[in-house]
Structure 1
Amino acid sequence: MPPLMSACATAGRVLLRGLRQTLLIALGAALLGTIGLVAWARVVAPADPAASMAMDSDDNVIVAREDWISFRPRDSESQIGVIFYPDEKTEPAAYGPVLHRLAADGYLVVLALMPLNLASLAPNTARQVMKQYPEVGKWVVAGHGRGGMAASKFAERNPESIVALILWGTYPPRFTDLSDAPWPVLSITGTADQVATPAKVTAAKARLPQATRQLEIVGADHWGFADFDPALSTATIPREQQQLDAIQATKALLAEIEGDQGSG
């Protein structure tokens, strides 16, 4: 082989070897990154052990687990359904008691289950839920923490699909503008919330409609909106009181929507 061709062949082999090594390094880094993400996502805020009892059916509510967890009232004529996005990196069972109680008041409530417990990976989950319940006439999307941020994104992108947005311990994320939303927004926050702090909530108000219904619960924290491990609490009021206030405000909005539905 002529020297020039031999040199070119050698250079080609070196280049190919380098490309292979680069590809292997990139694949290895991607694999390690994926493993790291999964491991990180599996570290969740634990539910209070007693919360699991609310994941069972009783005389008032039928609980079913499929791709999500549904709480269906046994006796209700309401045409309103609520899709609830949980906070990220949380144990879904923590939301069982509060959503079970809301369903007992006559509303279908669906707790969305997110991939890797990260609502930000699947903000359009509500669309899949809606397709499974064609009998529901009006949908409300709700969420807690980063789940509420994902719900806000869904609401912004699908304004025609819902009749209200309910936020517990959260606010719309940056670049999500709901200021011209055509439906009511209910924002429930706590003065002792160290995640969705009062300062963060105030800074995000411009991204909400001026007519947003705001309930700030004095002494309420981030974790009291569901039944999480009491060790996480920073609240100065009982969890039961915080949830009662949140449920009452939520029910008031749903009842108003129900009334509008009846008069329409």
Structure 2
Amino acid sequence: MREAEDGGGTVDDGGAGRGTGGAARPVWLTWTARTVAAAGLVVVLWACLTAWGAVVHGHPAYAVLLGLTVLCSALVLWRSLRPARARRRRVLALVLDVALVVAGLVWLAAVAWLRPFTAVEPAPTAMLSDEVVTVTESATSVTLAPAGEADATAVFFQPGAKVEARAYAAVLRPLAEEGHTVVIAKQPLAVAFLASGAFDAARESVPDAEQWVVGGHSLGGVVASAEAASDAEAPDADGAAPVVGLLLYASYPAEDLSGIPVAVYSVSASRDGLATPAKIEASREVLPADTRFTVLDGAVHAFFGDYGPQPGDGTPTITHDAARSAISSVSAQFVESLGR
């Protein structure tokens, strides 16, 4: 017989733990674990309902994370419904159970925070192939390639934090229309720092490219800057095509790149609430003296991709379409200027 003891707040399993000198898990802890497990299922459902496109089209790491969350939540619920066993080391067991609950809360907070921004129109439409641009998508990248002969200069792009790769298809497609192969990285958990090997993979996938422009938005630009710096320190060390340009969208490097022999172009927004104009201005000190700067008057941080509004961003005074057109135009001009 399973009987609750109100005084001790524990569950007696009809002698399951007799002779062990211990006690069953407190009722409050059992219900706390159940609540956290149920919250895990709710978080997964919320992520799927609000960011399904990014879950399906993004790097598989987040989908795996959601799957693990469902599995662990279901396991905790199942175990909590089984008769609890008394434990010999009551204090140690209680501490361990509480630690697992806390770890579960941290896990769920991370899953919720990592929910990616999903691509919105016109990005999905820009993902369609036609007679000018061929679009291919894999688990780790999106490639926009000219349908005809490709230019010798290819472009590799790192998305901003928590933004799925497809969100940049519309702004970067004009480069492919101009003849440049464009590879957009799909980052694990949509975090650029976890995609440090993506550029090497892009080089292998576009063997005919003679030179590269690396670029990125926000955090992606930080990682792209590091990739450009690494290539500049050991150019053609492995026989790969060199990096000749760095394209920064609302971004700046985390280290001093003032001495790298690479052309740099910084495109920013005057109403950006994240990579603010003051931060972009301060980046002049860590970029080469001949770096070109363009500030889009009235644009905001989220206008460098198509993924909807972003928390902490500013308020735009121009349309997203106007900003996107300007960004595409100056980007194409920069890449074209580096042609051999």
TM bucket normalised to smaller? 0.7 to 0.9
In structure 2, relative to structure 1, the CA distance for the partners of 1:233 and 1:93 (3 Å cut) is farther
Deviations 1:98-132 (A, max 9, x none): 12222111110011000001112223321221122
Deviations 1:147-175 (A, max 9, x none): 111111211222224111000111112xx
For structure 2, the residue ranges without an aligned partner over 5 or more in a row are 1-88, 236-241
* Aligned AA (2:215): A
Contact 1:76 1:107 in 2 (8 A): no
Q: 1:13 corresponds to which residue?
A: none
Q: 1:213 corresponds to which residue?
A: 292
Q: 1:131 corresponds to which residue?
A: 204
Q: Which of 200, 208, 228 is matched with 2:307 structurally?
A: 228
Identity of aligned residues (%): 34
Q: 1:52 corresponds to which residue?
A: 124
Q: TM-score, normalised by structure 1?
A: 0.82
Query: 1:23 offset after TM fit, Å?
Result: 8.2
Query: 1:24 offset after TM fit, Å?
Result: 8.1
- The answer to which of 216-225 and 33-42 deviates more is 33-42
Query: 1:35 offset after TM fit, Å?
Result: 4.7
Q: Which of 179, 183, 193 is matched with 1:120 structurally?
A: 193
Q: Secondary structure at the match of 2:163?
A: coil
- The answer to which of 100-109 and 18-27 deviates more is 18-27
Q: Which of 201, 204, 207 is matched with 2:283 structurally?
A: 204
Q: Which of 127, 142, 147 is matched with 2:220 structurally?
A: 147
Q: 2:245 corresponds to which residue?
A: 164
Query: 1:48 offset after TM fit, Å?
Result: 2.3
Equivalence map 1:82-93=2 (5 Å): 82-93=155-166
* Aligned AA (2:271): A
Q: 2:29 corresponds to which residue?
A: none
* Aligned AA (2:110): L
Q: 1:73 corresponds to which residue?
A: 146
Contact 2:167 2:305 in 1 (8 A): yes
Query: 1:233 offset after TM fit, Å?
Result: 7.1
Does residue 256 of the first structure (1) align with residue 337 of the second (2)? yes
Q: Distance in 2 between matches of 1:19 and 1:166?
A: 54
Q: 2:326 corresponds to which residue?
A: 245
Q: Which has the higher contact order (CA 8 A, sep 6+)?
A: 1
Q: Secondary structure at the match of 1:204?
A: helix
Q: 1:5 corresponds to which residue?
A: none
The 4+ residue runs of structure 1 with deviation greater than 3 A are 16-36, 230-233
Aligned residues: 241
Q: TM-score, normalised by structure 2?
A: 0.64
Query: 1:208 offset after TM fit, Å?
Result: 0.6
For structure 1, the residue ranges without an aligned partner over 5 or more in a row are 1-15
Q: 2:136 corresponds to which residue?
A: 64
Q: Give me the CA root mean square deviation.
A: 2.5
In structure 2, relative to structure 1, the CA distance for the partners of 1:31 and 1:201 (3 Å cut) is same
Q: Which of 170, 185, 206 is matched with 2:264 structurally?
A: 185
Contact 1:87 1:148 in 2 (8 A): yes
Contact 2:266 2:292 in 1 (8 A): yes
Query: 1:209 offset after TM fit, Å?
Result: 0.7
Q: 2:48 corresponds to which residue?
A: none
Q: Distance in 2 between matches of 1:253 and 1:167?
A: 11
Q: Secondary structure at the match of 1:48?
A: coil
- The answer to which of 183-192 and 156-165 deviates more is 156-165
* Aligned AA (1:214): F
Equivalence map 1:9-24=2 (5 Å): none
Contact 1:224 1:233 in 2 (8 A): no
* Aligned AA (1:168): Y
The structure whose Rg is larger is 2
